Each structure stands twice: as C-alpha cells, then as structure tokens.
C-alpha cells in the first residue's frame, strides 16, 4: 500500500495532546498517568483514520481506548476527527505493532481490535500479518486473563489463515462468521471506513473473536 505523504504530519502529531509521545514510558501506568481512572483499556491496532475507535469512545465512556497507527499520514487524519470531540477516554500512539509488549504491561489490556489489516499476501511476509501466531504471542503478553482479540476483514484468504493461526497459537475461536452483516453478530456492529465502502459494494465481511483459556 502506497501512502501519500501529508506535509507537516509528524510535527502535528508531536504537538498533539491526544498523542502519547513515548508509550514505553507509560508501560504499566496507562490507567494512572494517561486516563486517570481504573477503566478497562481497549486497543485498535492499525486504526486508520479513526472512525471506528471514535465511535466506540463516544458510545462507551466507561472504557479507555488507545489507537495504534504507524503511519503519520494516516494518524494525522484521525487527529483531525479527534480534535472535534471532547472525549477524555481516547488517545493515540504512533508506533509499530511489534512494539506492543514494550508499551503495555502484562494484563494491562482487555481487548484488541484488528480491522481490515494489511494482508501481506506474499508467503514470506506471513509473520507480518497482525493475525499471525507471532503477533498472537505479543497479544498474549499484554492481555488480561479472559481478554480477547476481535478481527474483521473482507479478505477470505487472510481470514482462513487467521483461523488456523489462532489454533496454532493455542488460542480459542469464539464468535466466527464469513458474513458479518448477514449474521447474528451484526447488531451493534460499528463499521470502519473500509467496511462502509466494502459493504456498499456487496462484499461479505468476515469476523472472528479469539481468546485465551483463563
């Protein structure tokens, strides 16, 4: 995926009060120093332009949200939306998902959302997929007992790969559907920018939840 550079995006991100500039310094301290409460923390990894997470934060003030995005030119678009709200339960981090265990302590996170992640279609890049067993090991390091990963995609091959990886990682599959919008799980579903586009095109959306045995 080739991204168009947004002039001044890094400077905007560095100056924003809604971006935690060094997540490693907040490891184990997110509730105390960032949010100032004891509410559960949910992450969206690869949050894109932020539509999904902003809507969740509006609907669920009892939850703390952190949006993870490694591309400055994308994160700055989410910031534009964030600045129009008065939410106090949503912050962003510009970082690579490989660094998650460096920024969050064991058991500090309650849920991880993965929405329309890069499929990395070449087999040699399989370890980079956010639903690879390598990434599930990282999630295992930061999720609390009973925590879960929720994954949505329009890519059937990536979804089938992900189902196999859940098992290989020693996790369990909970909810699972190859047609989210036509399933029992559609009620309350919040759509991302990509999902809105794909649904309008009639493309089925796959969804699964994965959890560790407590």
Give residue-wise pLDDT tens across range 112-127: 999 999 999 999 999 9
Would you state the pLDDT for residue 2? 43
- Which pLDDT belongs to residue 5? 66
Please determine, for residue 189, whether its predicted confidence score (pLDDT) is greater than 90. Answer: yes
Whether the CB-CB separation of 52 and 113 falls below 8 Å is answered with yes
Q: Take residue 111 and report the two structure tokens written for it.
A: 């849920």
Catalytic residue check, 213: no
Of residues 118, 140, 179, 213, which has the active-site annotation?
118
Q: Check: CATH 3.40.50.150 for 9-211?
A: yes
Average pLDDT of span 46-67: 96
93 has pLDDT over 50: yes
Taking residues 166-194, report their average pLDDT. 96
- Predicted model pTM: 0.94
How far is 93 from 21, CA to CA, in rounded Å? 7
String of b and e for 103-112 (b: at least 16 CB within 10 Å)?
bbeeebbbbb
Q: What is the mean pLDDT of residues 52-70?
A: 97
Question: Strand (E) positions, 33-156?
Answer: 41-45, 64-69, 90-94, 109-115, 143-153
């Amino acid at each position: 995926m080739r991204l168009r550079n947004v002039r001044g995006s890094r400077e905007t991100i560095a100056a924003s009060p809604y971006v935690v500039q060094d997540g490693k310094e907040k490891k184990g301290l997110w509730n105390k120093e960032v949010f100032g409460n004891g509410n559960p923390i949910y992450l969206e990894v690869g949050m894109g332009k932020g539509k999904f997470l902003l809507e969740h934060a509006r609907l669920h003030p009892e939850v703390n949200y952190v949006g993870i995005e490694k591309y400055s030119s994308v994160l700055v678009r989410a910031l534009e939306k964030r600045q129009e709200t008065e939410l106090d339960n949503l912050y962003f981090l510009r970082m690579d998902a490989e660094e998650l265990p460096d920024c969050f302590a064991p058991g500090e996170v309650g849920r991880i959302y993965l929405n329309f992640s890069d499929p990395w279609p070449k087999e040699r890049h399989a370890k980079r997929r956010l639903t690879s067993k390598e990434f599930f090991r990282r999630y295992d390091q930061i999720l609390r007992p009973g925590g879960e990963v929720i994954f949505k995609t329009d890519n059937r091959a990536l979804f089938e790969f992900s189902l196999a990886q859940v098992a290989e990682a020693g996790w369990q599959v909970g909810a699972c559907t190859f047609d989210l919008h036509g399933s029992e799980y559609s009620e309350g579903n919040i759509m991302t920018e990509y999902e809105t586009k794909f649904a309008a095109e009639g493309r089925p959306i796959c969804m699964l939840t994965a959890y560790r045995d407590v």
